[in-house]
Amino acid sequence: MSENDIHKALDSVGEEFKLSGEQFELLASQLLWRIGRSGEEGPVTVRLGLAASVSLFADLPRLRSVSDTELEAAIKDGELRVEWVGSLPG
């Protein structure tokens, strides 16, 4: 996966949450994420949120690990699901 692919993915997620890829980069040191599937056949999911929301991550059902290949395929196929955990940065 190229850096360009990653930036495109960040931009599309940013549109959904009204954050630019640049804003994600600025927030990078304050973000937590979990990547996986909630079930055997569920979509590849990225749970993303601010470090201040760490306790909320613990309350969510566990995600089953996915391989890098599964993650890349989900991004390329446009099937990656992103969930924001907690409140969005103001």
Model confidence over 23-82: pLDDT tens digits? 777 888 888 889 999 888 889 999 988 999 999 999 999 999 999 999 989 888 888 888
Amino acid at 64: R
For residue 86, how far is the Cα from the chain centroid? Answer: 13
- SS3 state at 47: strand
pLDDT higher at 35 or 11: 35
Q: What's the CA gap between 66 and 48, in Å, rounded?
A: 16
Superfamily of chain region 3-85: Protein of unknown function DUF3248 (3.10.20.570)
